[in-house]
Amino acid sequence: MLAVCFTDRWFFGYLSSAAVRQNEIVYSGGVGGLFDSERPPVIALEYRFAKNWHGVQPWLSLSWATDGAIFAGGGALYTISTPDEAWAVTAGCGPGYYERHQGADLGSNLEFCTFAEVSRNLPWHHRVMVRIMHISNGGLTQRNPGNELLLLGYSMPLP
């Protein structure tokens, strides 16, 4: 998915890289441990920078699960939109710090986050989105169970 998203145009030109965006804040909530027996609720706050390099934008995020797990990270994302910009698909990845507390043991404090999301644009450049995310240490340690999250989000531009 990421390899496809880092091109300017794909699918015979129907989808194109998104227009230049403003700085945005994204509020989201959902569940962690998507494929596990325990699914703690998760909330997240994300900042997306307007600055980009060939459409690739930096982001910073902080998330907290009710079992006490915390993930703080950042990275790069790329968004492609339909020509009318009503719908968009975003893919992103980046490293972060994971603190377990009572949450899942992911094998390391250094974890990598990859995600894909689909969003619908609303008036005033606000958006609603659904995101699937995977957090894993990428095999840096012997223990690497990973964790999947499903999040619903709301984004708004900052002045």
C-alpha 21/C-alpha 34 separation (Å) is: 31
C-alpha 130/C-alpha 120 separation (Å) is: 9
For residue 127, is it within any domain?
A: yes
For residue 59, is it within any domain?
A: no
The pLDDT value recorded for residue 159 is 85
Extract the residue ranges of the chain whose pLDDT is less than 50.
Answer: 1-13
For residue 61, is it within any domain?
A: no
Neighbours of 13 (CB within 10 A): 9
For residue 126, is it within any domain?
A: yes
Report the CATH number at residue 82: 2.40.160.20
Question: What residues make up the domain containing 77?
Answer: 2-7+15-54+68-157
| Residue whose C-alpha is closest to residue 94's, from 59, 64, 145 | 59
**Three-state secondary structure of 62-98:** EEEECCCCEEEEEEEEEEEECCCCCEEEEEEEEEEEE
How many independent structural domains does the chain possess? 1
The pLDDT value recorded for residue 16 is 54
For residue 35, is it within any domain?
A: yes
The verdict on pTM exceeding 0.75 is: yes
For residue 63, is it within any domain?
A: no
For residue 88, is it within any domain?
A: yes
For residue 131, is it within any domain?
A: yes
C-alpha 45/C-alpha 1 separation (Å) is: 24
